[in-house]
Structure 1
Amino acid sequence: MAALAAEGVLAKASLIDAKPFHYGGSVSNRVRAADCLAAAAWYEAGNDPVGQRAVIQTVINRVNHPAFPNTVCGVVFQGSELSTGCQFTFTCDGSLARRQPPKSSWKKALALSEDALNGFVDTSIGTATHYHASYVNPWWSSKLERLTSVGPHIFYRWAGARGSFRKQAFFGTEAEYRELVRKSTERGAIGPGLEDGEIDQDLANLHGDGLVPGTRTPTVPVSNAIFMQVGDASASGRWAISAMKACEGRRACQVLGYGDGGKVQANQQRSASERDRPLFLFVRDAASSMNIALWDCERTSRPQQSQCLPTDRGALLNLMRERS
């Protein structure tokens, strides 16, 4: 999810629970709002109910904030008509056309959405209006108040008066979810299928070949895995961007990064169980629709332990198994 610009560098803030949200629109508008909330929950957090509640609460918090649209669908699809700038990347990167949630998963996400429209408050993120994946460092992260982490996401809010909410006095007309999906599909995939739009700014800095400094063109071997050479450790966060670009259009994907071309070529010829420990590993899991990026923290510095490859060989091999 892309964040809007903010001013002032601020430290981590204390959590303050959001107020219960009771949807005041018509029955038809409520149905549309629930659909948009469920879509945001599933496409942003996969089948993880904890992560889904956090995403849903973020959307509700935005509806209650004067800087954002005063409808749920307006918040979720804000900027989706733009090639860059969509607030939730799944609305403009082709995800809505490439993958759809199973009926059982949709029902669960819809139930959590209905809870939120009936006043349920997820206290895990407080009044957060912004978040990003923990494996990237977007330009705006130091300019907002950091609140907390939930799963692979870090949550933020604006400071001071700018973070204030409006009174629930009016709800605009919700757009029809199917129509929003149709328009998104017609525009086609314009991005790399990233999990969070906060990487849009980084994508704007990519070289013409679609890669960034410190990486070379990924190659697709006989196996389903993708291999790429990674370079400058100081830009290691950008390895994840290159990996997600390489996985564009794939429901399941695995990218392994090694520090030199010889390592890349050698490991391309090996089975998954025989491959060397990579410097970087990206996995997209089709079953859960989640992306995960991990680094070898013995050779690359990362801000959180949760971003490190497991030291246990068995656990590592499980992550490195072939995806299809």
Structure 2
Amino acid sequence: MQTREAALAPPEPRRPAPLYLRIVIALLALVAVAVPVLLVSNTPRTVVHKRPPVVISKRVVPKQELPPVDPLKLQEVAPEDARAINAAIPFSTLPNPAARAFHLSGAADSQARAVDCLAAAGYYEAGDDAKGQRAVVQVIINRMRHPAFPKTICGVVFQGSERSTGCQFTFTCDGAILRYSPSPAAWQRARDVARAALDGSVYRAVGHATHYHTNWVVPYWSASLEKITAVDTHLFFRWTGWWGTPPAFTRGYAGVEPNVPQMARLSNAHQGDTTNPLEAALQGDGSLIDPATIPDSAVPNPVGAGLDANHFLVVLDKKMNADAFAALAIKTCGERLYCKFMAWTDPKQKPAKLPATPAQTAAMSFSYLRDQAQGYAKALWNCGQFKRPSPLQCMRVQPPALAPVATVQPGAAATPLPDTKSAVAGPAPLTGVRRKTDPAPAAPKPQISLSLPVVNASPAPRPAESH
């Protein structure tokens, strides 16, 4: 039995932990603190990219104002951000009617150039994919029918290609068409798609779309247009308001396709046609001048508007680039099936009305004639005033018209010559022919019967060619 004294005695003190155990515990505590610190301090920082805001334009271009055609300028965003931005733009809930069928016209060589330009756009924009190509070529045909774009297939495809930042289709200005070519089989498939579209086939899904882009890029114009459909990874847009409706797509086809040097590697039709003056006119020194770049304010009124709306008499600005004369003529003629454009740099030589005199025709600086019923279009320069790269672009130079020589009939009195000091000296007068200005004879003489040969007036020389 424990005694009372034993119960009241203090407990014995605990022995301290061994030194090695205390060292182990301290190390564990240090590791528990140090490891999280090291992990946090060495973890890569996450960079948060600020997405540009999607701004939906509320402005609708009125019918009286032609909408501007902006180049394909892209926002600098990562592909994953671009997909999110594009997904945030809603599809239009308005009807999406199909475009009308288009049937290509014009000369065989011009048609071949149109087919190949359209095939190149389909292949380089959509790859070897028939559905994507059909969507792309439908947009190009839609553009050709819209007043804001050129009136040829090749003109639409290569619009702005002379500027590295102004092209409408990327492959025309980034060198893709020169870096690689489709295989013969792929090129034939692209040409078949293009030919079908130019022969009345319509890709209904894209309606009247005039713009498109892939979903991994964001053009600056995308949020201001109506997004109407998607074909695989391509998104298609049309203008808001009246300019995106079927009545806006009524412009006619110019009927003459330009030769595009970039297409020479793919197309025999674009190897160059030196027999086509209009083609040379459109190219000038090798650069394509688009009639759509001519402002509406520069388009003159026809002769006697309402009476003769197919003829134009124009005074050209002497500072104007001669390469732009053809573009001005084509823009002036617009959709007319027949049009005659005659221009002078000297306003004193321009006739007030037709027909022009031989002297006025010889002084003409430029002329353009279109007769679409005959598949004909021709542009000519006065090469005495403007140097051209080819003589086929030149009007025929003719000597100025001479005053006609009077016709003298046998037995008839000769027509007196004008007695002016400024008159140009003519041939020596015939001897034995009495004139009113001759002094009276001293004594009457017997009547002399003259038997002169008939002198016919020379025909007036042909004026400079003006169609």
- Taking structure 2 as the reference length, the TM-score comes to 0.36
Contact 2:99–2:202 (CA under 8 A) maintained in structure 1: yes
1:308 corresponding residue in structure 2: none
Instruction: List runs of 5+ in structure 2 lacking aligned partners.
Output: 1-67, 72-88, 266-467
Q: Structure 1, residues 249-291: CA drift from partner, whole Å, max 9, x if none?
A: xxxxxxxxxxxxxxxxxxxxxxxxxxxxxxxxxxxxxxxxxxx
Q: 1: CA distance between counterparts of 2:214 and 2:90?
A: 19
Following superposition, the deviation at residue 55 of structure 1 comes to: 0.3
Tell me, yes or no, if structure 1 residue 104 matches structure 2 residue 185: yes
Tell me, yes or no, if structure 1 residue 137 matches structure 2 residue 218: yes
Contact 1:132–1:154 (CA under 8 A) maintained in structure 2: yes
Determine which of 106, 110, 114 is the counterpart of 1:33: 114
Contact 1:131–1:156 (CA under 8 A) maintained in structure 2: yes
Residue identity over aligned pairs, in percent, reads 47
Amino acid in the other structure paired with 1:173: V
Q: 2: CA distance between counterparts of 1:114 and 1:11?
A: 31
- Choose between structure 1 and 2 for higher RCO, CA contacts under 8 A separated by at least 6 residues: 1
Tell me, yes or no, if structure 1 residue 161 matches structure 2 residue 242: yes
Following superposition, the deviation at residue 172 of structure 1 comes to: 4.4
Determine which of 124, 149, 153 is the counterpart of 1:72: 153
2:206 corresponding residue in structure 1: 125
Per the alignment, in what secondary structure is the counterpart of residue 212 of structure 2?
A: strand
Amino acid in the other structure paired with 2:158: F
1:92 corresponding residue in structure 2: 173
Contact 1:144–1:159 (CA under 8 A) maintained in structure 2: yes
1:175 corresponding residue in structure 2: 258
Q: How many residues in Structure 1 have an aligned counterpart in Structure 2?
A: 178
Q: 2: CA distance between counterparts of 1:17 and 1:166?
A: 12
Amino acid in the other structure paired with 1:85: G
Q: 2: CA distance between counterparts of 1:84 and 1:47?
A: 26
Amino acid in the other structure paired with 2:262: L
Q: Which has the larger radius of gyration?
A: 2
76-85 or 154-163, which deviates more: 154-163
Q: 2: CA distance between counterparts of 1:140 and 1:85?
A: 14
Q: Structure 1, residues 175-194: CA drift from partner, whole Å, max 9, x if none?
A: 224x23369xxxxxxxxxxx
Contact 1:21–1:117 (CA under 8 A) maintained in structure 2: yes
2:138 corresponding residue in structure 1: 57
Amino acid in the other structure paired with 2:177: L
Tell me, yes or no, if structure 1 residue 116 matches structure 2 residue 181: no
Contact 2:124–2:171 (CA under 8 A) maintained in structure 1: yes
Would the alpha carbon gap of residues 120 and 142 (structure 1) be closer, same or farther in structure 2, given more than 3 Å must change?
same
2:325 corresponding residue in structure 1: none
Amino acid in the other structure paired with 2:135: A
Q: 2: CA distance between counterparts of 1:29 and 1:16?
A: 30
Following superposition, the deviation at residue 97 of structure 1 comes to: 1.2
- Taking structure 1 as the reference length, the TM-score comes to 0.52
